[in-house]
Structure 1
Amino acid sequence: MIKLHHQTLQDFYRWHQREESEHDINPVAVYRREEFSCSRSLESGRYKFYKVSLCVQGSGRLGYADCGVDITRSALAFSDPHIPYSWEPYSAEQTGYFCLFTEDFLSRRKRHGVLPSSPFFQLDGDPVRFPDEEQTRLISYFFERMLLEQNSNYPGKYAVIHNYLDLIIHEALKMQPSHLLFRNTAAFRLCSQFMILLDQHFSEQGDWRKPADFAGQLYVHVNHLNRSVREVTGKTTTTLIAERAVLEAKHLLLQPSHTIAEIAYRLGFNHPGNFNIFFKKHTGLTPTEFRRQTVCSS
């Protein structure tokens, strides 16, 4: 076993000894579990992408933070970049499906469907469900349809895949929770409150806020907030604010009605040039390059 911390999609493919294919570099990709080395152990680590997995056959222990659940029957599991997870297989046979997607995928679909606000991707959510036979067949069908769309030439295939992910989440909401309980520490509760406040702020106002501003709203000292966030997520409060600002910037850049200057001022930058520097630092592209690249790929 090896430790993988803040693993990227490229790291994930290398770990599974797979070469990048055309759809590997896109913001969403769907696979069958038997195509990957799901019978190998994976130590706890954080991953820079989201994952929705359906285990149809096979058993093992799925760990989240310092909790875990035994998978001995069909299971539907959700993971995100904020909670470290691990996998310890009990059997060599592992079949099913999984879908990987990035923040870019969420930013493009941010105002659509239940995926961006899914409770399964919340810090205090229960990320595992156990579908019955009928539900397993239905969700397997959704994954098969996503595989077909992924391999098609249809220009709107990623929107269709997003819709199937929404259907999977709706089915999961009908199921009973697995009662996988996360540690109920003060740090975990405070971090969860911060993440909710961060998302609400950018969704409603969008301008920049410093860690001290959020600490004031949560009635805690900024140093206490920073320690709690770092303990739970492995990232600084400043990093999470910047990542959320980048996500909001990408969403706004996808709307041609907003000029880059307007987006810069909305996010709290005094000058568009400062916004350009910030955006390129975090994405490798200028806002103009991102907008042009996105239009060309849509």
Structure 2
Amino acid sequence: MDKKIPTESLSDYYARTGFAITKDHLPITSESGHFNVRMANICCRKTPFNRRDYLKICICSGKGNGTLVYDDREIQLSQPCIIFTHPSVPASIEITKMSRYSCIFNKQFIEGQMSPDVQYASPLFNATLFPVVMLTEEELDRLNGYFAEMKRLQESDYPFKWDMVRNILQLAIHEGIRLQQQQAVQSGVVRDRLVNSFFSLLNQQFPVDSPENSLKLLTPAHFADLLHVHVNHLNSVIKKSTGKSTRVIIHERLVSEAKALLRNTSWNVAEIGYALGFEYPSHFNKYFKQFTAVTPMEFRQNNMAVSMAL
């Protein structure tokens, strides 16, 4: 990748667009994450070509047209569509005489809300997938309704509004996945059955419901044996479909479950580590810190402090 392509932060975004963060928004530095949704009627505008440290979803509608430059591809936007841009892929959009709903949020805002299987099915989290889903008028109305409701909630005084926003945001992401997969079936492109079987096996292990039962499927070889394929073939198919290795996907799922258990149970760190397949607490501590930069105990203490503050 070209290292000269900049990465735009949330602070950079607000400085570039001139939009203010008001009391209706969670602060950029909030431990609960940041979210913002807005509507814009645009005659002609082009965004800078860059990567982002935040996630973005746009709905484009109207009788205009546009172009999305996504890495080395130019994608023409000539009908209503929803765009899910992966933050690591450099992108720029130029549209003329189109209305645009957009929402931006960081990973903290939706962390732990969606399973890896769902994430790898969405171009928002999987850079190997096509980022644009074309919409019929009925589909456009439904998705616009989701965004309008998120905007209404964002501006409301309801004390649990962000929980509702997260739920509606997930609906929008799921709708994008459903429509994209539906269009893929119609065009004869279907995700490999081996990929679906792998994720089914992976997700059957979660959520972990007892500190006494340790996970058994922890390596690509474990899954390959149960799926009756060579581990190299499994790795190749998973990498092609998701853009990530089998091992990385397993690691991400383990870390996600570890965070959930640290947040939501009274199990001690040793019990959580054992439940996730670690025989010794020191091994779990080292593993968790490798992926999160903090120890399990530090993560638990930080999240307890956030809960008390909220």
TM-score, normalised by the number of residues in structure 1: 0.68
Residue 32 (1) aligns with residue 33 (2): no
Residue 100 (1) aligns with residue 105 (2): yes
Distance 1:64 1:179 in 2: 20
Q: Gaps (5+ residues) in structure 2?
A: none
Select the structure of larger CA radius of gyration: 2
Corresponding residue of 1:75 = 81
Offset, 1:51: 4.6
Deviates more, 1:281-290 or 1:17-26: 17-26
Offset, 1:139: 4.0
Identify which of 35, 54, 59 aligns with 1:54. 59
Residue 159 (1) aligns with residue 129 (2): no
Corresponding residue of 1:11 = 7
Deviates more, 1:154-163 or 1:144-153: 144-153
Residue 260 (1) aligns with residue 269 (2): yes
TM-score, normalised by the number of residues in structure 2: 0.66
Offset, 1:228: 3.2
Deviation readout 1:95-132 (Å, 9 max, x if unpaired): 2122435277241x459xxx985896398999725152
Q: Gaps (5+ residues) in structure 1?
A: none
SS at match of 2:183: coil
Instruction: Look up the equivalent residue of 1:160 and give its one-letter code.
Output: M
Give the superposed CA RMSD. Answer: 4.9
Distance 2:290 2:177 in 1: 38
Aligned length: 285
Distance 1:258 1:67 in 2: 49
Identify which of 127, 135, 146 aligns with 1:130. 135
Contact persistence 2:288–2:296 (CA under 8 A): yes
How many percent of aligned residue pairs carry the same amino acid?
27
SS at match of 1:293: helix
Corresponding residue of 2:301 = 292
Q: In structure 2, do the counterparts of structure 1 residues 191 and 167 end up closer, same or farther at CA, with 3 Å as the change threshold?
A: closer
Instruction: Look up the equivalent residue of 1:73 and give its one-letter code.
Output: Q
SS at match of 2:36: strand
Deviation readout 1:164-215 (Å, 9 max, x if unpaired): 22554687699797725689599x5544543343233344687251111111
Offset, 1:89: 3.8
Contact persistence 2:122–2:176 (CA under 8 A): no
Identify which of 201, 208, 213 aligns with 2:205. 201
Offset, 1:226: 2.4
Deviation readout 1:23-80 (Å, 9 max, x if unpaired): 334535223375999734758x8x8876543223453456999999753233234466
